[in-house]
């Protein structure tokens, strides 16, 4: 066996022994709720399609219309030929919703964070990152080659300590946090962090991938509001909302924008249609959180802060067993294991959507209580 294959096989064996090996499972999404997997029809509590818009007629029709008019691909980077006319309309809508001067759409949320942070920060700068921030935030921070420091999760006092100790040693400083944390479902103290940023002449960046549309926006307005098109907006891509000078800089210097092919027109059109559905139905936004809180109330858990509810089981094998048990009852709730979450915090992650049936949420809670938490 070639040495590379030997190396890969040994690594896989180690991961298998630790219940950490991952595999792709073919999954057919029938609509915004139901999936077919392994020959079984399951009610999914693992999708980030919070408003079930991936199969909404208006969203699908917009994507089809865009393909018919503009084709299937962008044909080049946005700075060459890939900046099709739909981009400007979507960016205008995003900026309006976020209350900023301008917006810039990237190829994905990961590409956005990997490009935004190093476009602003360099070797003489300081980046403070929440301990539980998404992987792509860490990727962007490390690419700066500056001083990157971790602050304790949602710990404003710890941020103050770090700024007090290190701000004067660096030219610029950036605080980065998720708005809604994707694996824990809790919400960052955005207003307090922004106040600190102003006090220490730092900038605040929030990753709102899981918050857009489903969690009430903070009245505080971070300098940099990043997010994705792939969750509530039922499409694919990432974005940054900020001032016009910052957005102009991104279009000039963010490597993941400059050197990536533009999004397919269908993806941009679908996101715009999803925004129209969400803004046209004021009651829709409240439903995912309401469903999540019904679940936490049934299990006597702390009230959900977002549509994401973690159930910590700590042990990787137990998390996999719990996922299998729920699949046997007709539910899909993915086991989340390290390195996605810290060691010793393996869990089931439940994501609630606007259309989850109340009776099925109650049945799920009963099964979790009687079979997993017993």
* Span 36-64, pLDDT tens digits: 998 999 999 999 999 999 999 999 999 99
pTM, full prediction: 0.94
Specify the length of the chain in residues. 374
pLDDT at 132: 97
CA–CA gap between residue 68 and residue 242 (Å, rounded): 32
Q: What confidence score (pLDDT) does residue 150 get?
A: 98
CATH architecture for segment(s) 74-263: 3-Layer(aba) Sandwich (3.40)
Pair 333, 349: CB distance under 8 Å: yes
Whole-number pLDDT of residue 141: 97
- 3-state DSSP call for residue 28? strand
Q: Is the peptide bond before 192 cis (omega within 30 degrees of 0)?
A: no
pLDDT score, position 170: 97
Q: Does the domain formed by 22-54+283-372 have CATH 2.70.240.10?
A: no
> Would you state the pLDDT for residue 330?
97
Supply angle C-alpha 298, 299, 302, rounded to 5: 100
Q: What pLDDT score was predicted for residue 244? A: 98
At 374 the pLDDT is 80
Which H or E run contains 119? helix 109-120
CA dist 218 and 365 (Å) reads 30
Measured in whole angstroms, the distance separating CA 275 from the mean position of its chain's CA atoms is 17
Q: Could you tell me the CA-to-CA distances from 340 to 26, 43, 71, 231, 352 in Å, in that order?
A: 21, 23, 36, 18, 20
Q: Where along the chain do its domains lie?
A: 22-54+283-372, 74-263
- Which pLDDT belongs to residue 324? 96
Torsion angle of the four alpha carbons 279, 282, 287, 293, in this order, in degrees rounded to the nearest 10: 110
Place of tokens 């096989």: 9
Low-confidence spans in the chain with pLDDT less than 70: none
Computed on alpha carbons and rounded to an integer, the radius of gyration of the chain in Å comes to: 21
Contact 326, 361 (CB under 8 A): no
- Mapping DSSP to helix (H, G, I), strand (E, B) and coil, where does residue 198 land? helix
């Amino acid at each position: 066996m070639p040495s590379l294959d030997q190396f890969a096989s040994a690594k896989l064996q180690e991961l298998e022994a630790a219940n950490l090996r991952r595999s792709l499972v073919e999954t057919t999404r029938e609509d915004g709720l139901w999936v077919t997997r392994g020959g079984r029809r399951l009610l999914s509590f693992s999708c980030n399609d919070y408003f079930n818009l991936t199969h909404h007629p208006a969203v699908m029709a917009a994507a089809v219309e865009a393909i018919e008019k503009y084709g299937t691909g962008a044909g080049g980077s946005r700075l060459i030929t890939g900046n099709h006319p739909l981009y400007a309309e979507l960016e205008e809508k995003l900026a309006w919703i976020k209350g900023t001067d301008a917006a810039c759409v990237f190829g994905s949320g990961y590409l956005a964070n990997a490009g935004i942070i190093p476009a602003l920060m360099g070797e003489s700068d300081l980046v403070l990152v929440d301990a539980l921030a998404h992987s792509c935030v860490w990727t962007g921070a490390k690419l700066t080659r500056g001083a990157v420091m971790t602050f304790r999760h949602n710990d404003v006092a710890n941020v103050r300590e770090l700024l007090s100790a290190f701000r004067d040693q660096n030219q610029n400083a950036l605080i980065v946090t998720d708005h809604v944390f994707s694996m824990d479902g809790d919400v960052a103290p955005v207003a307090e962090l922004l106040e600190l940023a102003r006090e220490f002449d730092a900038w605040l960046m929030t990753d709102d991938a899981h918050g857009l549309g489903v969690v009430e926006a903070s009245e505080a307005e971070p300098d940099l509001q990043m997010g994705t098109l792939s969750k509530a907006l039922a499409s694919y891509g990432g974005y940054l909302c900020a001032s016009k000078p910052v957005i102009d800089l991104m279009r000039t210097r963010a490597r993941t924008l400059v050197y990536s092919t533009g999004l397919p027109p269908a993806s941009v059109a679908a996101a715009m249609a999803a925004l129209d559905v969400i803004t046209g139905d004021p009651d829709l936004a409240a439903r995912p959180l309401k469903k999540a809180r019904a679940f936490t109330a049934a299990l006597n858990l702390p009230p959900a802060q977002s549509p994401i509810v973690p159930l910590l089981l700590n042990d990787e094998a137990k998390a996999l067993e719990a996922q299998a048990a729920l699949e046997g009852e007709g539910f899909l709730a993915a086991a989340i294991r390290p390195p996605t979450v810290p060691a010793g915090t393996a869990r089931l992650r439940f994501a609630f959507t606007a259309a989850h049936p109340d009776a099925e949420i109650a049945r799920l809670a009963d099964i979790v209580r009687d079979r997993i938490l017993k």
